[in-house]
Chain A
Amino acid sequence: MSSAALETKETVAGLGEKYKYGFVTDIEMERAPKGLSEDTVRYISAKKGEPDWMLEWRLGAFRRWLSMKEPSWARVHYPAIDYQNAYYYAAPKNTPLKQSLDEVDPKLLETYKKLGIPLHEQMALAGVAVDAVFDSVSVATTFKEKLNEAGVIFCPISEAIRDYPDLVKKYLGTVVPVTDNFFATLNSAVFSDGTFVYVPKGVRCPMELSTYFRINASETGQFERTLIVADEGSYVSYLEGCTAPKRDENQLHAAVVELVALDNAEIKYSTVQNWYPGDENGLGGIYNFVTKRGDCRGVRSKISWTQVETGSAITWKYPSCILRGDESVGEFYSIAIANNYQQADTGTKMIHLGKNTRSRIISKGISAGKAQNTYRGLVSVYGKAENARNFTQCDSLLIGGECGAHTVPYIESRNPSARIEHEATTSKIAEDQLFYCLQRGIGQEEAVALIVNGFCKEVLQQLPMEFAVEAQKLVGISLEGSVG
């Protein structure tokens, strides 16, 4: 990172709030009846004005889901989720068909402002197009024209199902099959909205694409669905940020993200996740059960995941790469912070199928309070994957004596030419490091943030600039009160 970039880092001391996104916007909501049945699925599909094939796809998923069991292998503990005691669809009333931002409910825009999303003219300067998902409906999409010129499709997935059915049919569910796992199947049945991106052959997407997800309504699960397809020789960088208001009840979030990179294409997918983590006593917070997977379908394709996970009461998430194309590359850069009673079980899977495929995993786990933080990762080299290479580095940092860090690497190799390296370290913030900072005038909270940001540097460097600054602040906020 250049020193100029470093200098834009802001200190976290000014950020006094604990969870500054914990506000609720008072907007009339339209909801599906509580609970989950075929009727719920039909209701959602009808609300979206979906074609029959989509409804059938959803119903197929729902029927399959009824026969599935919630997975229990992750190192997370939570009371049983009552899937009948939640709403599966919530949308601000009277939202459809906005032609410009002026028509959007000012209260919504106010919410975005609090979130710090630059939705107006500043966006042009920032070069970010935002498809803002407010609970379940995309309410404002910007910069469509500029993207249209480049031939890039960037729209709510509900719109894509109507306007680009062939593309959606061709790719939806091809990376994460409907039957993949309990949460992905649930999502397939009830997903309400999300984002669709298609970058045509040879096009370098002219700007970073960004989506902000926010759970607003209480007792509502958010099931967004994202599908990104990078056609041959194209490039796209996609940013996803998430926040949720404070509530005492736990809210379920089960998203599915599918990425497809064809020959020589590259997708960079960055996430900053700060869903409400629950309070100091472990009350409330988001259950984040997410399936994210990228398919390097073409030769020399590349998919890079970067995630900064600071929120959620429970995180269950393994953004993965299927390295199908010869010489394809998969990367996973992760920072997972768990404080108080948060539980994180996160990592990646790198599936080497093609020849000369390479993968790189850099994971930084930080545990504080009474939190449990697990890295779970699979590196699998199949028989035909000649000369596959993997490098994995897993570092854990402990703050205080009551938290836990766990590293669970799974390595499978069916090809003797594979070279797999795994490095792991566990360390504590040393008392002498803290004292050194204090002696130079840096207060406790800022010192912890500084040391942790240093620990995470390799991953933070992977984030686009505008996200890196936010991520650094989040690191500080989420560890407040962690050193007594």
Chain B
Amino acid sequence: MLDIKNLHVAVDGKEILKGLSLKVEAGQVHAIMGPNGSGKSTLSYVLAGRAGYDITEGSISYNGEDLVPLPPEERAAKGVFLAMQYPVEIPGVTTMMFLKSALNAQRRSRGESEMDAIGVLKTVRKKAAALNVSEEMLKRALNVGFSGGEKKRLEILQMALFEPKLAILDETDSGLDIDALRLVAEGVNGLRAPERAMLVITHYQRLLDYIVPDRIHVLAKGRIVAEGGKELALELEAKGYEQIVKDAA
């Protein structure tokens, strides 16, 4: 599904990713762990196609297609979804309005017919209930005045709604208390599917108690320095990043 080879990425001329390689198959959940400043968020933005992240070397293949030349909105329509660490506020645009615009923009891009307002409303309501996203939240302006937990739940709701093939979750656990974390994790687990790959980016092992990954990669100084099964997370927790990075060197 996703095949990243020797990826070098610079931001404002400064190299952040320095030869990262990573493969994720459909149906799998991979975790990317790493200390602050290791390039975790850069990786998520590069996959989503954010402007200002320049690929200086290497390749990203997505379902056999070169992802690099595609603008972000086309990537989204092709099933790349990024649940953001800091979901942005858009004043005056109701959440429901935003969801409808996004859903139909993706459908148009894929050559599918648009869903009418009632169709969108029904679909959203059904998925919202499972994530404890209230009707009232859907009427509020997008993320405006939402709590940290509400924002993250809304990100997962969008993931459920758009049914992506590759879902990247960037620090989805940040700013959540344990109850909110559990709710979000349940939502994510409910979306695990044979045709879907997930990349869970996190600083702490805590999230991986709830979302158990098939494989863990440790990112440090712009490269994958260690890989392993879910037990690697526990080792990290015990030894700390510094030791693992040193061991790998």
Contact = CB atoms under 8 A, between A and B. Distances in A.
Contacts of A9: 97
Interface residues of A, number: 30
B141 A438 contact: no
Contact of B84 (A436, A444, A450, A453): A436
Contact of B96 (A3, A13, A457): A3
Contacts of A7: 96-97, 100, 117, 121
Contact of B105 (A432, A435, A443): A443
B162 interface: yes
B92 A435 contact: no
Given A3-B139, A436-B84, A446 B105 contact: yes
Contacts of B108: 13
B91 A442 contact: no
A11 B141 CA distance: 17
A454 interface: yes
A6 B97 contact: yes
A440 B93 CA distance: 15
Contacts of A13: 105, 108
Interface string A199-233: 00000000000000000000000000000000000
Nearest to B96: A3
Contacts of B48: 435, 439
B76 A455 contact: no
B101 A450 contact: yes
Nearest to A11: B101
A300 B155 CA distance: 49
Contacts of A455: 91-92
A450 B94 contact: no
B75 to A, nearest CB: 8
B96 A6 contact: yes
Nearest to A442: B105
B82 interface: yes
Contacts of B98: 440, 450
B72 interface: yes
A443 B51 CA distance: 14
A432 B71 CA distance: 15
Contact of B90 (A8, A433, A456): A433
A435 B76 contact: no
Interface in B97-128: 97-98, 100-106, 108-109, 117, 121
A13 B102 CA distance: 12
Given A11-B104, A11-B105, A441 B77 contact: yes
A147 interface: no
B109 to A, nearest CB: 6
A451 interface: yes
A434 to B, nearest CB: 9
B90 A440 contact: no
Contact of B94 (A3, A433, A444): A3
How many chain B residues sit at the interface, stated as a range, is 35 or more
A437 B71 CA distance: 12
Contacts of A453: 92-93
A404 B89 CA distance: 24
A442 B96 contact: no
B101 A446 contact: yes
B93 A438 contact: no
Contacts of B117: 7-8
B73 A441 contact: yes
Contact of B76 (A3, A6, A440): A440
Contact of B87 (A436, A451, A457): A436
A430 interface: yes
B92 A456 contact: yes
B88 interface: yes
A145 B121 CA distance: 42
A435 B89 CA distance: 12
A9 to B, nearest CB: 7
16 contacts: A3-B139, A7-B96, A431-B51, A432-B88, A433-B88, A435-B48, A436-B90, A440-B102, A441-B76, A442-B73, A444-B73, A446-B105, A453-B92, A455-B91, A455-B92, A456-B92
Given A13-B108, A441-B162, 20 more contacts: A7-B96, A7-B97, A7-B121, A11-B101, A11-B104, A435-B48, A435-B72, A436-B87, A438-B71, A438-B72, A438-B76, A439-B48, A439-B49, A439-B72, A439-B84, A441-B106, A442-B105, A446-B105, A450-B98, A457-B92
Interface of A: 3, 6-9, 11, 13, 430-433, 435-444, 446, 450-451, 453-458
7 nearest A-B residue pairs (beta carbon): A454-B92, A7-B117, A454-B93, A441-B106, A441-B76, A457-B92, A440-B102
